[in-house]
Structure 1
Amino acid sequence: MIRFENITKQGGHRILFLEASAALNRGEKVGLVGPNGAGKTTLFRMITGEETPDEGQVAIEKQVSIGYFNQDVGEMSGRTAVAEVMDGAGPVSTVAAELAELEAAMCDPERTAEMDAIIARYGDVQARFEELGGYELEARAREVLAGLSFSQEMMDADVGVLSGGWKMRVALARILLMRPDAMLLDEPSNHLDIESLIWLEQFLKSFDGALLMTSHDREFLNRVVGKIIEIDGGSLTSYSGDYAFYERQRALNEKQQQAQFERQQAMLAKEIKFIERFKARASHAAQVQSRVKKLDKIERVEPPRRRQTVAFEFRPAPRSGDDVAVLKNVHKAYGSRTIYGGFDLTIRRRERWCVMGVNGAGKSTLLKLVAGTTAPDQGTVAIGASVKMGYFSQHAMEQLDGGHTVFEAMEAAFPLANQGSLRALAGCFGFPGDDVEKKCRVLSGGEKARLVMAIMLFDPPNFLVLDEPTNHLDLDTKEMLLTALAAYEGTMLFVSHDRHFLAALSNRVLELTPDGIHQYGGGYTEYVARTGHEAPGLRS
């Protein structure tokens, strides 16, 4: 369906692709993976024709419709969310627009003379609209938006009032409603809560077209894709299996290549040693010449390309008291909406609470109450003895000084720290070498999140309060953070939509539902086993 044939592409001074080949076949669901900057978005743009390869070609079968979702959603306003989604549904949306114009014309007294022609045209357009399934279109658009957690009020409101994250969902819904032959999704799991993510999983699994997508959510990839295409070092390598299979196979390939490389190096060293030893002896001249020729003909095995991954280790945090945070009879409301009415919770040392609940259930509000950035209307929130808190929220990223470089932001937070340790920390969080000289104002959302996280963790707190800490983080940074937090000896209270993160780190679950607040001993995996659902909003 779509083939990359020996493509070469240079981006700036970097070669992104060098005679690389791969294919997306009908009905395949493929995950596109690779380090940041490897060329994933460039590959999408070459399929859509926004960019062309320097050499080679991208071959696409005739009449194949392509839908492309990316993070740049552009301006949206002046229409309802439903209308905006329906507008992306391909030919039927054009027919719907003409139908609306004709309906307006039939009500216009100034066009009475044209009425016969307008009515005749209306009949033709209406028949075409019906043939294309137009009358089911609005119902389908609402179904998709509901799956992405839109309320009826949000669906019918002006899309212009929505936040950037909700506009992303509208843009994604447009592509899903379109149901093209090939769907290109660049990070569709960003900005989605866990309920929407699981709904999207089911939608994509039942989608009968071809799918090529990137995602920083390994669980999402594992459940949706059956093939991985990896971009690394200019080449495209295909693996038949999900992301977990790809990781195992890649590690095995590296191990085999390393063993092959070491065997060849040992053989070469032995041959070179013989040549050096006997090159001056006439009696061994023929043997030496033979071995020199043999070495010239040997195809050299390259060592495996190892991605640079830097581990981050917490310095030991000071020990806190046994009761880290105690909430008693907490009441909190926003206007007429009650979030908490007489809520009690005790968080003890080394507990790791993950907070589950649908949008608006009060997850972020709870974290703000504990962090002290908002106060309860009634009741008390007491932080225990010797507790040193680190609070990560999306709002924290807005507090960065745009004029500072990454290094200056870290230096401002820790003026007494030595430069070497700050640079090492920056490297752990994805700012190696000259990247520390980037100005904060030009950083992406993911880079800002990494910087805020690095500053928070440098002088480790013993109580971490984290609101969606994995938003914007790529797979490698997520894995580094997860490994570091797994070894962390402090206490945690966190919200996340990443099920891999939830399962690996939590040992307590707080579930916020309209029926009440439930506390579970045991982590997210036990919660799923006990309740039979992966999130509160998925109850049958």
Structure 2
Amino acid sequence: MIRLDSIGKRHGKQILFVEASAAVNRGEKIGLVGPNGSGKTTLFRMITREEQPDEGQIAIDRGATVGYFRQDVGEMKGKSIVAETMDGVGPVSDIAAELAELEAALADPDRVDEMEELLERYGQAQAKWSELDGYALDARAREILAGLGFSNELMDKDVGTLSGGWKMRVALAKILLLRPDVLLLDEPTNHLDIESIIWLEGFLKSYEGALVITAHDRAFMNRICTKILEIDGGDLTTFTGNYDFYERQRQIAAEQAEAQYERQQAMLAKEMRFIERFKTHAAKAAQVQSRVKKLDKIEKMEPPKKSKRPPMFDFRAPPRSGEDVAKLEGVVKRYGSRTVYDGLDFLVRRRERWCVMGVNGAGKSTLLKIIAGELSPDVGGASLGASVKLGYFAQHAMDVLDPTLTVIGTLIHSFPEASLGTLRTLAGCFGFSGDDVEKSVRVLSGGEKARLVLARMLYDPPNFLVLDEPTNHLDITTKEMLVEALSNFEGTMLFVSHDRHFLAALSNRVLELTPEGVHKYGGGYLEYVATSGHEAPGLRR
């Protein structure tokens, strides 16, 4: 459906693609991978004709429709959420807007004199709505919105009242409702909870068109993608299989390339030694000349490119805490008329790693805030144990960074006695390499700020980590580094995450918050799935 033929593209001095070729065929589900800045978004923009390649061409089958979900959603206001979702899906969206306008007019007492005309127009619009199968479209829009976490009551409210993250969900719903021949999805799992991610997996598995997707969720990529398209050094390379298969094949290919290069280097060195040794020997002159000609004809291999994996940092061991790390006794917490907790008892013991599961509004962040001392219970008590040094990561933690400092300046300010080399290595672990350490905090993205906060927290680690969605906006490589660092962490953890790989790798206890009550599971996330029969509280098999 889409063919990229020998494309070249540069942005200023940065070369993104050099004679790169690939194809997207009908029904394929392709994961697009590559380091930050390698050109993933640029490739999407070239497919949608928002940018043009400098060389080569991109051909799209005649009549094929392309839908593109991007991170900047634009302005949304003045329509209900369901109407905004249907906006742009052919003429039926115009009729939906007209019906909404007429319904408001019919309910307006100041327009009672126009009632007969309004009723006639409303009847005509309803007839067109039925003719265009608008009721089915409305039902499909509501089904998609429900899958992405919207309640029935919320769907009819003004889209302008939503936060940026929820507007992203509306933008995603619009693309999914459109059902184009080719779906381009740029980080669709950002801002989604685990239930919505799992619903999206099911939707995309049954989607019959072609799909090209970027995501920082390993489990999601493994379940959806049957092919991986890698951008690396200006080239496009295709791997058949899911993300785990791609990683294994990439490692095998790298090892083979390294071995071939070393064999050729050894052969070249051997030949050069012979030439140097016998170049002045008349009896060996013919052999020397033969080997010189042979070396001239050999195509010299380039040294294999090393994958840019962040360096591992040797994090220091935290001080030992008492056996009882945190305790909640008879905690009651209400927001207005809504009761979040009604007599909650909860004990966290040393070396336990609790992940907290629950649907939106279940009180996951509230629990973490109460334990971290950011929020007081209405009734009951919350206390930390002896010798507990708590570190709390929340989304607002990024707001306390000084915008006037650079990345390295932030670390120097936090740890003035540490050597510059140590802090540069720490920054490199969290994705700030080379000149990136000189970037101002003011210009950092949300993900970069999160990485900086985590780096600062883990350099001098507390013995009790309370983490609220620490993996939001982190790429897969940085997540792997974080998982590896936290796997070796000797303290206690309590965390919320929608990343199933992160949950499975780090948890050894699960606290499930449901409307029916609080459930505790003695094993980690994988044991929770096996025991409960579902991957998240809002789902049932």
TM range (shorter): over 0.9
Looking at structure 2, the residues matched to 414 and 130 of structure 1 have their Cα atoms a distance apart, in angstroms, of 67
- Say which is worse superposed, 98-107 or 224-233, in terms of deviation: 98-107
Alignment match, 1:517: 518
Q: Give how far 1:126 is off.
A: 6.5
Is contact 1:390–1:456 with CA below 8 Å preserved after alignment? yes
What's the counterpart of residue 15 of structure 1? Answer: 15
Unaligned 5+ runs, structure 2: none
CA offset at residue 127 of structure 1?
A: 6.7
Q: Return the offset for 1:111.
A: 9.6
Q: Does 1:380 align with 2:400?
A: no
Q: Which residue of 2 aligns with 1:502?
A: 503
Inter-CA distance 94–357: structure 2 relative to 1 (3 Å threshold):
same
Contact 1:325–1:384 (CA under 8 A) maintained in structure 2: yes
CA distance in 1, matches of 2:251, 2:222: 17
Indicate if the aligned counterparts of 1:312 and 1:480 stay in contact, CA closer than 8 A: no
2:403 corresponds to which residue?
402
Q: Is the 8 A contact 1:88 1:175 kept in 2?
A: no
Given residue 168 of structure 1, which amino acid in structure 2 is its aligned partner? M
Structure 1 contact 325–347 (Cα < 8 Å) conserved:
yes
Q: Distance in 1 between matches of 2:116 and 2:386?
A: 84
Answering whether residue 145 of structure 2 is matched by residue 145 of structure 1, we say: yes
**Counterpart of 1:475?**
476
Cα displacement (A) at 1:55: 0.2
In structure 2, the residue corresponding to 1:538 is in which secondary structure? coil
Per the alignment, in what secondary structure is the counterpart of residue 537 of structure 1?
Answer: coil
1:178 aligned partner? 178
Asked if structure 2 preserves the Cα contact closer than 8 Å seen for 1:312 and 1:481, the reply is no
* Structure 1 residue aligned with 2:77: 77
Q: What's the TM-score, normalizing by structure 1?
A: 0.95
Query: d(CA) in 1 for partners of 2:96 and 2:340?
Result: 42
Question: Which moves more between the two structures, 298-307 or 167-176?
Answer: 298-307
Distance in 2 (CA, whole Å) between partners of 1:2 and 1:278 is: 58
Once the two structures are TM-superposed, the CA of residue 113 in structure 1 deviates from its matched residue by: 13
- After superposition, what is the alpha-carbon deviation per residue over 1:142-170, rounded to whole angstroms, capped at 9, x for unaligned? 11111011112221111111111101101
In structure 2, C-alpha distance between the alignment counterparts of 1:385 and 1:90, rounded to whole Å? 64
Inter-partner Cα distance in structure 1 for 2:313 and 2:91: 52
Instruction: Tell me which residue corresponds to 2:200.
Output: 200
Task: Please give the alpha-carbon distance, in whole angstroms, between the structure 2 residues aligned to 1:347 and 1:103.
Answer: 55
Q: 1:296 to 1:458 in 2, by over 3 A?
A: same
Shift of residue 299 of structure 1? 1.5
Q: Equivalent residue of 1:504, what SS? A: helix
1:435 counterpart SS class? helix
Relative to structure 1, is the Cα distance of residues 122 and 378 closer, same or farther in structure 2, using a 3 angstrom cutoff?
closer
Amino acid at match of 2:171: A
In 2, distance between residues paired with 1:25 and 1:366? Answer: 47
CA offset at residue 93 of structure 1?
A: 2.2
Structure 1 stretches of 4+ with a deviation exceeding 3 A read: 94-115, 125-132
AA aligned opposite 2:82:
V
CA contact (8 A) 2:313 2:425 kept: no
Q: Per-residue displacement from partner, 1:331-360 (whole Å, max 9, x unpaired)? A: 111111111111111101100000000000
1:352-403 Cα shifts (integer Å, max 9, x gaps)? 0000000000000000011101111111111011111111000101111211
Match of 2:488 in 1: 487
Partner of 2:277: 277
Q: Which moved more, 1:331-340 or 1:286-295?
A: 286-295
Given that 1:88 and 1:177 are in contact with CA atoms closer than 8 Å, whether structure 2 keeps it comes out as no
Identical counterparts, % of pairs: 69
CA distance in 1 between counterparts of 2:117 and 2:158 reads 33
User: Residue type matched to 2:418 in 1?
Assistant: A
Report the equivalent of 2:187.
Answer: 187
Shift of 1:263: 0.8
Distance in 2 separating the partners of 1:133 and 1:281: 92
Matched-pair contact (CA < 8 Å) for 1:407–1:423: yes
Shift of 1:114: 10
Q: Which amino acid aligns with 1:415?
A: P
Conserved in 2, the CA contact under 8 Å of 1:89 and 1:175? no
In 2, the alpha carbon distance for the partners of 1:85 and 1:293 equals 69
Q: 1:288: which partner in 2? A: 288
> Could you tell me which residue of structure 1 aligns to residue 335 of structure 2?
334
The within-5 A match list for 1:74-223 is: 74-94=74-94, 96-97=96-97, 129-130=129-130, 132-223=132-223
Q: Which residue of 2 aligns with 1:412?
A: 413
* Structural mapping, 1:217-296, within 5 Å: 217-296=217-296
> TM-score, normalised on structure 2?
0.95
- Which segments of 5 or more consecutive residues in structure 1 lack a partner in the other structure? none
Per the TM alignment, residue 90 of structure 1 is displaced from its structure 2 partner at its CA by 3.7
Opposite residue 43 of structure 1, the aligned amino acid is: L
Cα contact 2:83–2:96 (8 A) shared by 1: no
Corresponding residue for residue 317 of structure 1: 318
